[in-house]
Amino acid sequence: MAEAIRVRDLRKNYGDVQALDGLSLTVEEGEFFGLLGPNGAGKTTFINVLVGLVRETGGEAEVFGFDVETDYREARDRIGLAPQEFNVDRFFPIREVLCHKAGYHGIDHEEAQRRADEALKTVGIYEKRDTRFDWLSGGMKRRFMLARALVSDPELLILDEPTAGVDVQLRHDLWDIINRMNDEGTTILLTTHYIEEAERLCDRVAIVDSGRKVEVASPDELMSRGTDTVDVGLADPPTVAPTFDYDGVVESRMAEGRLEVVTSRGGALVPDLLRDLEAMGHEVTDLDIRRASLEEVFVDMTRTDSSVGGSSEAEEVVQ
C-alpha cells in the first residue's frame, strides 16, 4: 500500500525549545490515523510542517511521495486541513470562502460553486451559505471548518482537534462525516484530546510526547499493553488485601470494601485468583474485569516517557 504521509527524523526548534525531536512515522493511504499526545507534544507543529505553515529544522516530510518543501504544490493540492483555530476569511459569506479555497486548488469557478454547495450540505449548514463566518454559532463554525477542508476533495484530510468544544450530538455528526470520507478512500490524520474519539475512529494511533513518537499501534493493541483490574467482591472483606505471588500481578489492594487486583494478564489470572482466595478462606460474591482504557495507557506512556526522559527504546520497537 502507498504511503500517504512519510516523515523521517523530523525536527523543529524554536530557539532552545524542540517542538519536534526526530519524529518518524508513516501513514498508509486510506488509513484512519490518530495522533495523541499531551499539550505541547508537537502534534500541531507536525501538521503545520505538512501544510507549509512551519519550516522544519531538519529531517524529511513527504505527502503521497511529494516533499512538502520542494514539491509543495503537489503535496498541498492533496491535503484538506481543518485546523484547531478558526482561521477563516471574515470578509466574505461562507459559500464564497469555500469557492475561493477551491479556486486556489485550481478548480474553476462554476465547479467551485457546485463543490461549495455540496460541502455545505454535507456538514449541514447549507442554509447559512450567505452568512459570514462571524455570525455562525460555535457548532456551525466547527462544521464549516470541516466543509472548508472537504471542498477541494482532498486525498488526505488533516483534522486538528475537529470536535474540540462541541456537544455530543455534533461530535457524533462529525464522526459520521469523517468516517464516511474514510470509507470512500480518503486518508485521515486526526489529532484529538478525546481518547474515546481515537478509540472509536482510528485504525492506528501514534502517541507522541515532547516532539517524539512514543508508540504506534492500533487502539486494541495499545489497550492490550495496559494493565487490567480484576474487581472482586468478598463476603467478609479483610482490611488488608491478600498478596498473590505469581506472574502478572502488579498490585492488590482494598478499595471501598472490595479487592482490586491489578494485572497484566487480564482474565487469564482469574482461575488462579479464585483458587487462592478460596484456599485463604474467602468467599467470593461477585467478580468483574475492567479492561485498561486507551486513556490509561496514554497517561502511562506519556508520563513514563517524561519521567525517564527518553523513548528511543520504544521507537526501535515500532520502526
The residue ranges that bind another protein (CB under 8 A) are 14, 48, 51-55, 72-74, 76-77, 79, 81, 83, 85, 87-92, 97, 99-101, 103-109, 112, 148
Pick the closer one to another protein by CB: 145 or 198: 145
Q: How far apart are CA 86 and CA 265, in angstroms?
A: 45
Pick the closer one to another protein by CB: 85 or 316: 85
**Taking the complex as a whole, how short is the minimal distance between the CB of residue 217 and another protein, in angstroms?**
30
Q: How far apart are CA 87 and CA 47, in angstroms?
A: 15
**Taking the complex as a whole, how short is the minimal distance between the CB of residue 87 and another protein, in angstroms?**
4
**Taking the complex as a whole, how short is the minimal distance between the CB of residue 200 and another protein, in angstroms?**
28
Pick the closer one to another protein by CB: 69 or 296: 69
Reference 35, options 46, 43, 27; nearest CA is 43
Pick the closer one to another protein by CB: 52 or 242: 52
**Taking the complex as a whole, how short is the minimal distance between the CB of residue 24 and another protein, in angstroms?**
21
**Taking the complex as a whole, how short is the minimal distance between the CB of residue 296 and another protein, in angstroms?**
34
Numbers of helices and strands, H then E, in the chain = 11, 14
Pick the closer one to another protein by CB: 62 or 260: 62
Q: Which three cell numbers stand for residue 79?
A: 491535503
Reference 25, options 160, 205, 227; nearest CA is 205
**Taking the complex as a whole, how short is the minimal distance between the CB of residue 308 and another protein, in angstroms?**
29
Pick the closer one to another protein by CB: 84 or 224: 84
Pick the closer one to another protein by CB: 189 or 223: 189
For 309, phi then psi, to 5°, come to 75, 25
64 three-state secondary structure:
coil
Pick the closer one to another protein by CB: 50 or 230: 50
DSSP character at residue 131 = S
**Taking the complex as a whole, how short is the minimal distance between the CB of residue 152 and another protein, in angstroms?**
8
**Taking the complex as a whole, how short is the minimal distance between the CB of residue 15 and another protein, in angstroms?**
12
DSSP character at residue 56 = -
DSSP class per residue in 204-263: EEEEEETTEEEEEE-HHHHHHTS-EEEEEEESS--SSPPP--STTEEEEEEETTEEEEEE
